[in-house]
Amino acid sequence: MGRPTYLYIDTDALRHNVACVKNYAPDQSILAMVKADAYGCSLQWVLPTLEPLVEGFGVACLEEARAVRRYCPQKECWLLQGIFSPEEIPSVIELGLTVVVHNPQQLAWLTASPVSAPIKVWVKVDTGMHRLGFDPRELAEVLATLDLCPWIAKEIGLMTHLGCADTPERPVCQHQLQVWKDIAEQYPDMQKSVANSAAMIALPETHVDWVRPGLMLYGASPFSARTSAELGLRPVMHFISAVTTLHHCEAGDTIGYGATWQCTRPSIIGVIPVGYGDGYPRHVKENTQVWINEQTVPIVGRVSMDMLTVDLTDCPNARIGDRVELWGKYITIEAVAHQANTIAYELMTQVTARPRNK
């Protein structure tokens, strides 16, 4: 078996979460976000499960699109950051991709020279996030340029992205929604897309032609104040290891690098072969929990590259070989993210090849 640290990907949970998406947006096409190797869950497991359940996939770049095409050669696939050079255009055509256009350089590349097949395009509009997208005042000219280009497919779509959909009451979110509403009213017949996971749940007015769920597909909550369980989601990624060493320590003994934790009583310390070299966050706070033998136990001492240590004193039946859940069904990834002062997205996508390739 080897080192007992691995990811388990629950494809039944993935199917369940797609059903949740459809409950929120029953009449919309689903563009499943599978960028960053399906949020760290691995395309090889995720795509065969999602392919019959959704209308398309969203990726960040051409390299990710190539990976999608290995599993799903025909499914709609959008390049969400568009092309990074004109040299990518032949591959876009070869792979049958839909290209998001969000800046003048991309527009110039796509309309400069005739190509062998129509290119499907969505235009991204910056409604106030100020990251990607055309200024709304430029939109009419952009659409006219695309309309006049013979090799741009005539079914052009419009999209935007909300920077604060997880806090929809904030004025900045309401401003973006109003800017988008004004644009949508000007172009009533064009296909549109707005909603990410948070907007799907909190902003039903963003449920237009296409929705773009990401995090919620993988069973994590996009909200800081609402848990995945409250939203009816089930975790897809389970980070698993096992106890490999037990130490019986005395009061006053110190544990790990820097001797940062000291036993206050005779203690049983378990060693778990997982660390920041596997993607478990080094900077979790003291007393972050893991799950073993139907109970939680705290991490003590520093997380090192290949190992961490836990206090098993109150879990006296623990034995070498016992299964440990770092996050998944019993320890939510959101709880670990909170203890590490980060977000679930980061934890999911920073799991390294070592446990993912098991």
Q: Return the active site residues.
A: 35, 257
The rounded distance, in Å, linking the Cα atoms of 301 and 106 is 50
CA distances from 145 to 93, 109, 136, 230, 293 (A): 20, 12, 15, 46, 63
Output phi, psi for 226, to 5 deg: -130, 125
Cα atoms in the 13 Å half-sphere on the side-chain side of 39 = 27
The rounded distance, in Å, linking the Cα atoms of 237 and 344 is 11
The rounded distance, in Å, linking the Cα atoms of 226 and 17 is 16
* Residue 82, phi-psi category: left (phi > 0), alpha (psi -120 to 50), beta (remainder): left
State both tokens at 58.
């969203």
Q: Would you give the end-to-end CA distance of the chain in angstroms? A: 9
Amino acid found at 215: L
- Strand partners for 249: 267
**Helix, strand, coil share of the chain (percent; to 5):** 35, 20, 45
